[in-house]
Structures are given as C-alpha cells and as structure tokens.
A and B are shown apart, each in its own frame.
Chain A
C-alpha cells in the first residue's frame, strides 16, 4: 500500500520568511496530492492540492510542487504570518487507493 513520509516534523520560522515542507510517497499509482492544515481538535482543512498531470500549482502565498519521477511533492508558504501556525499534513491517494497521510509538520511562525 501507499506510504507517505513527511519532513520536517517541526518547523519554526520568523514572520515574513518562507516555509517548505516536503513529502515522499511510494505508490506510483497515486495521482492526487492534497495538503491540509489542521488546528487543534478540528478537522483538516484543504489548503491546496495537485494532481499528477501538473508539476506546480500556486494559490497566493501557497504553492505546491510535484516531482512524479522522484515521487516527492512539497508545500511552499511565502511571507508567512502568525496565523499560518498550525499542523500541516500532506496526503496521497489514487483512484483505487484510500488517502494516506504524512506524519504532519508543526509550523510555528514567530512574530
């Protein structure tokens, strides 16, 4: 089955700096890669997603890149703000497989 690894587990940046979170996946059949932001005790919120037919996607300060050959994808947050502080999860799924999550990254943005 799919195995998703995520790094780093914790990330602390200064407000205004960029944050990068990286994930790798194992199943070449995976074709959908969402990123979620989760506040404590709440449901994951989709912040951006990318499909395997696209290499990069951007939405304002958030961007995701995908390298299918290497089986890795990354989340980039620019101009970070304190409200970006949360736990971020990457995930991978295919049309056949269930969605699997990475271990999560606790991002802290210091004012």
Chain B
C-alpha cells in the first residue's frame, strides 16, 4: 500500500533556530502533499498544499516566510519552521494523495524551548 515516511518523529530546538521536517512517499509519486498542524486536543488544521515543481499554496493566516515548503521531487516534500518560537510547538503531519485516498506520515512532535 501507499506509505509516507516522515522524519524526524520528535525534535526539540531552541528558540530562533530552524527545523526541517521531511516527508517521503516511498512507493508512489506524490505530486501533491498536504501539511497539517495539530495542537493538543484539537483537530488537524491544513497549513499548506505542496505541489511538486511549483510554489506551495498556503492557507489564510499561515506565514509563508515562516513555514517554508519545498517539493523538489515527486517523492519528497519538506517543511522548514524558521526562527522557531515556543508557540510553534505542535504536532506536524503530512499527507499525500494517492489515487482516491490519502496517506499520512507518522507526524513530527516539535518542541521549541
């Protein structure tokens, strides 16, 4: 079946530093990937849609300069949280559409101290 590998699963970083999260589709080509953010006890909120070879589409209220998305190949999308602050601490998860369904990465727990 469709598998999306997401790394790292957990990361702790200092305020002001940047963190990169990777999502790879292992057995299929994902022209589109979605990045979600989830706060404790809340739903998954779509941050942006990542399109291979073009600029990502960001949802309203999401700072594109802070959350940099790169989808340089059909199997890799990255989310970089720049100049991280404690309020960026959250669970970040990617998803790729394959055919008529969606496959999720395992998620990244980001803690900014």
Range class of the B interface residue count = 20 to 34
Q: From residue A90, how far is it (CB to closest CB) to chain B in Å?
A: 10
Main secondary structure of the interface of B (DSSP, over half): strand
Q: Which 10 A-B pairs have the closest CB atoms?
A: A43-B104, A101-B43, A103-B43, A101-B44, A104-B43, A43-B106, A43-B107, A98-B49, A98-B46, A44-B104
B interface list, Cβ under 8 A from A = 34, 36, 41-46, 49, 91, 93, 95, 100-102, 104-107, 109
Cα-based distance from A100 to B45 in the complex (angstroms): 8
Cα-based distance from A46 to B105 in the complex (angstroms): 13
Closest Cβ neighbor of A2 among chain B residues: B46
Q: How many residues of A contact B (CB 8 A)?
A: 19
Cα-based distance from A46 to B36 in the complex (angstroms): 16
Q: Which residue in B42, B100, B104 is a CB contact (below 8 Å) of A32?
A: B100
Q: Which of A41-91 contact B (CB under 8 A)?
A: 41-44, 46, 49, 51, 89
